[in-house]
Amino acid sequence: MVSSIEEAVAMKEKGNEAFKKHDWPAAVECYTKAIELNDKEVSFYTNRAQANIKLESYGLAVSDATKAIELDPNNVKGYYRRAVANSAILRHSDALRDWKIVLKKNPGDKNARLQFQECDKVVKRDAFLKAIEVEEPSSAAEGLDLDAMAVEPDYDGARLEKEMTEDFIKDMIQRFKGGKRIHKKYVFQIVLAVKELVYEEPTMVEMEVKEGQSLTVCGDTHGQFYDLLEIFRLNGAPSESHMYLFNGDFVDRGSWSTEVALLLYSYKWLYPKSFFLNRGNHETDDMNRMYGFEGECRAKYKADRVFKLFSESFSALPLATLIGAKYLVLHGGLFSDDNVSLDDIRKLNRHKQRQPGQSGLMMEMLWTDPQKEPGRGLSKRGVGLQFGPDVTKRFCEKNGLNAVIRSHEVRMDGYEVEHDGRCVTVFSAPKYCDSMENKGAYINIGPDYKLNYVQFEAVPHPPIRPMAYGAPGLLNMM
């Protein structure tokens, strides 16, 4: 007769096989079954912590690593996993404490030493930024004289005058595909033009799909430029009649984030009334510093001002879009309070609070996730919260909605319909970070307001790894 301990080990081995195949959800399921059979084995928790890190369930990873440390205070993997997870959710001081313990127990670990040094830099940088923080910082556009900025005669790309054109966009796409960049003057022009456009839009844009029109809703693209081009190839380019809504997380992780942001911004400038952008949790300063966008701006355009202007434009983006009074589209999800309504979103002054912080409506709109259980629960990410089907039902009924459409999470099929059809997740970055085997998806909506889901596969891209411009300490998580 096989003992429960032997069964647990067998489940762990199954989990290890799933992990090798990059099937992180199956790995978590197997490790969970192993823990149910034997909850005293440290390796089950550290293995599940690593699988949760791959799934970006950093809060769960911290919990697993902490349990492993409780079972064995000398377990180096527990401290290591917890440090990585805390770094990922920007709890750098907590991570630093664990890196110190890892190095004390294993002083020869060169990777841990590198991560400790990087984490220490981030803690000191954050303290410095907090010390010099002012309530209303001056704009990075101050003193920027675009008229005096010359484009060299030997610049071999299309010229951008005072208005965006389709020809410029087509030329820009070809330049990007060939590994080239556009002139820095044009980057400034595009970002400043879009910043002004989106600043004037309401916090919740309200739009309709009329006869002769269609709308495509896309989820996270995360700097996966070649997959973004695949969406337009399969589904058609944006136009006045073919509207698009990109639901946040355009940048970070993928190593073509500037290309993605500039292409989306160029379409927004060309079609301001039919191309829409919602802010995601990665259109924020702290995430951009950690996950690569700030570093990419510096590496590709050799100027701090490029990132600073993007940052200002991100903070001006709307937080939600209401489609035909039937679907609320926002990046994260619903709220900690059942009394929150569409009117509360309309009234939210996003310009007063540039960054989402750790609490409040803006944070919840960018960070929360659905759960299968009723009610509300602690966030698996370690930031925000989770909301159940009853929460979604009450919100939709109170506000006369068919469903909430959100993004923010990988779905293996590219999308998932949950909460009795009232909560839809769409994710548009296939083979996410080159480490998952997920499809991408987008949603087409016509004047009948039916949701038509389209899946697509990842396409090849040049051999540049994800997070090429991100914090070195996060590279081992990819």
pLDDT per position as a tens digit, 355-411: 898 889 999 999 999 999 999 999 999 999 999 999 999 999 999 999 999 999 999
- Give, in degrees to the nearest 5, the angle at Cα 425 between 439 and 331: 115
Residues 6+ apart with CB under 8 A from 126: 92
On whether the CB atoms of residues 61 and 28 are closer than 8 A, the answer is no
Tell me the three-class secondary structure of 290-307, residue by residue: HHCHHHHHHHHHCCHHHH
pLDDT attached to residue 478: 46
Is residue 1 over pLDDT 70? no
Q: How far is the C-alpha of 168 from the C-alpha of 262, rounded, in Å?
A: 12
Catalytic residue among 282, 331, 408, 419: 282
- Give, in degrees to the nearest 5, the angle at Cα 399 between 398 and 402: 105
pLDDT attached to residue 317: 98
Q: Which residue has the tokens 């639901």?
A: 247
Residues 236, 297, single domain; the answer is yes
Residues 76, 216, single domain; the answer is no
Q: Which helix (H) or strand (E) holds 245?
A: strand 242-247
Concatenated DSSP letters for 408-454? Answer: SS--TTSEEEEGGGTEEEEB--SSGGGT--PPEEEEEE-TT--EEEE
Burial call 428-462: b when 16+ CB within 10 Å, e when fewer:
bbbbbbbebebbbbbbbbeeeeebeebebebeebe
How many structural domains comprise the chain? 2
pTM: 0.94
Please indicate, yes or no, if residue 159 is contained in any of the structural domains: no
Query: Per this entry, what is the length of the chain?
Result: 478
Please indicate, yes or no, if residue 143 is contained in any of the structural domains: no
Please indicate, yes or no, if residue 408 is contained in any of the structural domains: yes
pLDDT per position as a tens digit, 407-446: 999 999 999 999 999 999 999 999 999 999 899 999 999 9
Using CB atoms within 10 Å of the CB of residue 163, give its burial: 0 to 12 exposed, 13 to 18 middle, 19+ buried.
exposed
Residues 215, 277, single domain; the answer is yes
Residues 268, 179, single domain; the answer is yes
Q: How far is the C-alpha of 430 from the C-alpha of 436, rounded, in Å?
A: 8
pLDDT attached to residue 212: 97
Is 282 in the active site? yes
CATH assignment at residue 127: 1.25.40.10
Please indicate, yes or no, if residue 178 is contained in any of the structural domains: yes
Domain boundary among 112, 132, 152: 132
Task: Please give the average per-residue pLDDT across 183-188, as a whole number.
Answer: 98
The DSSP letter of residue 97 is H
End-to-end C-alpha distance for the chain, whole angstroms: 41
Is residue 47 over pLDDT 50? yes
Please indicate, yes or no, if residue 37 is contained in any of the structural domains: yes
Task: Please give the average per-residue pLDDT across 201-224, as a whole number.
Answer: 98
Residues 99, 246, single domain; the answer is no
pLDDT attached to residue 411: 95
Residues 100, 224, single domain; the answer is no
Residue 100 lies in domain? 4-132
Dihedral, CA of residue 461, residue 457, residue 408 and residue 260, to nearest 10 = 40
Task: Please give the average per-residue pLDDT across 246-264, as a whole number.
Answer: 98
Is residue 280 over pLDDT 90? yes
Dihedral, CA of residue 478, residue 262, residue 312 and residue 123, to nearest 10 = 20
Please indicate, yes or no, if residue 368 is contained in any of the structural domains: yes
Residues 213, 350, single domain; the answer is yes
Residues 6+ apart with CB under 8 A from 318: 198, 201, 202, 203, 204, 205, 276, 277, 278, 279, 350
Residues 82, 193, single domain; the answer is no
pLDDT band per the 50, 70, 90 thresholds, residue 2: low
46 forms beta bridges with none
Residues 309, 451, single domain; the answer is yes
Residues 268, 411, single domain; the answer is yes
pLDDT attached to residue 349: 95
pLDDT per position as a tens digit, 332-346: 999 999 999 999 999
Concatenated DSSP letters for 173-242? Answer: HHHHHTT----HHHHHHHHHHHHHHHHTS-SEEEE---TT-EEEEE-B-TT-HHHHHHHHHHH----SSE
pLDDT band per the 50, 70, 90 thresholds, residue 475: low
Residue 299 Cα distances to 295, 308, 381, angstroms: 6, 14, 30
pLDDT per position as a tens digit, 78-105: 999 999 999 999 999 999 999 999 999 9
CATH assignment at residue 426: 3.60.21.10
Q: How far is the C-alpha of 162 from the C-alpha of 184, rounded, in Å?
A: 15
Q: How far is the C-alpha of 197 from the C-alpha of 177, rounded, in Å?
A: 27
Q: Among 92, 48, 57, which Cα is nearest to 383's?
A: 57
Longest CA–CA separation in the chain, Å: 83
Please indicate, yes or no, if residue 347 is contained in any of the structural domains: yes
Residues 106, 174, single domain; the answer is no
Q: Which helix (H) or strand (E) holds 371?
A: none
Burial call 184-199: b when 16+ CB within 10 Å, e when fewer:
bbbbbbbbbbbbebbe
On whether the CB atoms of residues 61 and 49 are closer than 8 A, the answer is yes
SS3 content of the chain, % helix, strand, coil (to 5): 45, 15, 40
Least confident stretch, 121-130, 133-142, 271-280, 300-309: 133-142
Is residue 133 over pLDDT 90? no
Domain boundary among 81, 112, 132: 132
Average pLDDT, the chain: 95
CA atoms within 13 A on the CB side of 66: 10
Q: How far is the C-alpha of 72 from the C-alpha of 40, rounded, in Å?
A: 10
Q: How far is the C-alpha of 119 from the C-alpha of 111, rounded, in Å?
A: 12
Q: Among 469, 418, 58, 420, which Cα is nearest to 289's?
A: 469
Radius of gyration of the chain (CA): 23
Q: Among 327, 233, 211, which Cα is nearest to 276's?
A: 327
Domain boundary among 82, 113, 132: 132
Please indicate, yes or no, if residue 146 is contained in any of the structural domains: no
Residues 121, 176, single domain; the answer is no
